[in-house]
Amino acid sequence: MNKNNIYKVGQDRHHTGFFPPTLEDSIAEDNPVRAIDAYIEALDMVSLGFTNTTLSNSSGQPAYHPKLLLKIYIYGYLNKVRSSRKLDAEIKRNIEMMWLCQGLQPGYKTIANFRKDNAKALEESFKTFVLLCKELGFIGGQVVAVDGAFLRANASKNKLLMKKTLEKDIKRMDTRIKKYLETLTTEDTKDEKLQALLEKKRVKDEDLEKLNEMKSTQYNRTDPDAKLMVKPAHNLMAYNCQIAVDSTYKFIVSTQVSSDGTDYGKIHDIAVMTNVALDINPTYIADSGYYSHQEIAKCEADKIPVYVPVPKKQNKTKKQPRFIQGEFIYNETEDHFVCPNNQILPKTTSFNTKNDGSKSYFYRSSTKNCRNCDIRDQCIPEKTAYKQLGVSEYFSIAQAHQEKMQTDEAKEYMKQRSALAEHPFGTIKQNLGWTHYLVRGLEKVSGENALIILTYNIKRLLNIIGVIQFQKLMIAIKNGDKSEIEAIKAKILAFMAYFWFKIHFFVLLIDLYFKRVLSLA
């Protein structure tokens, strides 16, 4: 080396010892790629339902093992690389990928087809990992928070057909065509502009007919299962991703994807799904978007404890302030309501059936009582003859739930909710780079959704117990070494107990310190 050179000089690129002798030497013992390899090697790909797991020597050219392709995806999703083309590029230039794939280089089409063809198997893989976390003691099953998020679909709003928009367009075109025809003579009826307008209307008519046949209000040509969903700032073509998060270590214990643009009516389904899969019955907490009389009733019937805030409604209008239903007192024994002027509203025989199948019964005062009421103007409009209340058949259950939500216990649960349920979505979007789905169709989207949630859980477990301990555990599971599995589990539980003791002891010291400071002040 020249002593006069003030900069460091790199090695000669033709030097034979530039890289370590083997790929194994290039990967540190605590590299997460080793955990991925150990975990997937321990999986039973046949029972999980992956494709190409039962090939024989007569199947033709050797296929890439599904374990290899799953390793590629788990590694990619952990490192914000989800595109099949980008994964293909990483295999050829990333030394960790080279080690993981052992030199094999499947093309981007093979990689893409694996994700597309194994949606159900990916969902089963997620469920299997959740069961592993439960067996290790990382899922307490005491409190589970439920939340949803609209995640962008692989579909353009330009390809969206909306029934209301089509009806307006067709009506406007009919008017234009009528006016256009009035200005033309008989010889001009073959005008090119008119023909173009008629053709556009024909296409719109066909689109509207298609929506009517489907009994739907919208349809996207790119991804028929995706729906236009409304956010405060903008609208987007999306799917509604639901997650249930256990409070112990914030593992996601179940997930579900739907085309519904609301969380209404979903808490019972996801609670039942979680309870059946994990054999638990925790307390479920969610925000007011999940509130439904019928859902609360279903949960109560299945003995599922839930805490969901009752949505706040506008009590009185500015133009004409009137009494709301909450100001009418219900007499459960007599099954009637008492108005603010102490008049009785008995139950009628009429009722309405809602879209969800639930019924609303009507309680109505007499015309005579309302006509002679001193505070009539505060209750009903001038031209209305009597006061009528529409009451859900689950009114009593809803009332009891509303009272429960006023307790200190409910308020404590609500304080936990956002930290539990909203935290994972933030982690997934920021740390794992998940901003939208890459596949199309509800079934395939459900598979990709399971893959990203599985990746989140793997990352969380590695952060808690470390790569080396996880790798040892998965090797023991693969070998069926029960004594080693129990020894590793005991070591993990002992470490976690010590970890929590340190945290609680530290919190106690802080609490005592501030109490001492306040007492001296």
What is the per-residue pLDDT across 256-308, written as a single tens digit (0 to 9) for each?
A: 999 998 998 899 999 999 999 999 999 999 999 999 889 999 999 999 999 99
Structure tokens given for 111: 């990689």
Classify residue 124: in a domain, yes or no: yes
Identify the residue with better confidence: 180 or 519. Answer: 180
**How far, in Å, CA of 256 to CA of 272, rounded?**
12
User: Does residue 292 sit in the same domain as residue 166?
Assistant: no
Whether residue 95 sits in one domain with residue 66: yes
The residue type of 363 is Y
Is the same domain home to 232 and 297?
A: yes
Answer yes or no: is 6 within a domain. Answer: no
Using 50, 70 and 90 to split pLDDT, how confident is the model at 4?
low
Verify that 31 and 122 share a domain, yes or no.
yes
pLDDT, residue 412, reads: 92
Identify the residue whose tokens are 């903008």: 234
Which pLDDT value is given to residue 315?
A: 46
Answer yes or no: is 245 within a domain.
Answer: yes
Query: Which residue in 125, 151, 161, 119 sits closest to 47, CA to CA?
Result: 125
Task: Return the bridge partners of 307, or none.
Answer: 285
Write out pLDDT tens, residues 131-143.
999 998 899 999 9
Q: Domain tally for the chain?
A: 4
Please, are residues 27 and 12 in contact by the beta-carbon 8 Å criterion? no
Q: Tell me the percentage of the chain whose pLDDT exceeds 90.
A: 50
163 and 271, same domain (yes or no): no
For residue 158, pLDDT over 80 is answered with yes
**Which DSSP string do the residues of 428-478 spell out, in sequence order?**
HHHHS---B--S-SHHHHHHHHHHHHHHHHHHHHHHHH-HHHHHHHHHHHH
Claim to verify: residue 420 and residue 360 sit in the same structural domain: no
Note whether residue 513 is domain-resident. no
123 and 100 share one domain: yes
Residues 243 and 144 in one domain: yes
Q: Which of the listed residues 175, 199, 220 is the one where a domain comes to its end?
A: 220
Q: Taking Cα atoms as reference points, which of 463, 400, 419, 358 lies closest to residue 30?
A: 463
Domain extent at residue 81: 26-131+448-496
Judged against a pLDDT cut of 80, whether residue 58 lies above it is answered with no
Query: Considering the domain boundaries, does residue 512 fall inside one?
Result: no
Residue 17 pLDDT exceeds 50: yes
pLDDT for 180: 77
Question: Whole-prediction pTM value?
Answer: 0.83
Residues 257, 240: contact at Cβ < 8 Å? yes
Do 417 and 374 share a domain, yes or no?
Answer: no
Is residue 322 classed exposed, middle or buried when 0-12, 13-18 and 19+ CB atoms within 10 A define those classes? middle
Instruction: Examine the domain organization and report whether 39 and 117 are in the same domain.
Output: yes
Q: In what order do the strands lie in the sheet with 359-364?
A: 329-331, 336-338, 344-353, 359-364, 388-392
What is the CATH classification number for the domain harbouring 269? 3.30.420.10
Is residue 301 domain-shared with residue 423, that is, in the same domain?
yes
Q: Are residues 86 and 37 in the same domain?
A: yes
Q: What is the pLDDT of residues 244-255, one digit of tens each?
A: 999 999 999 999
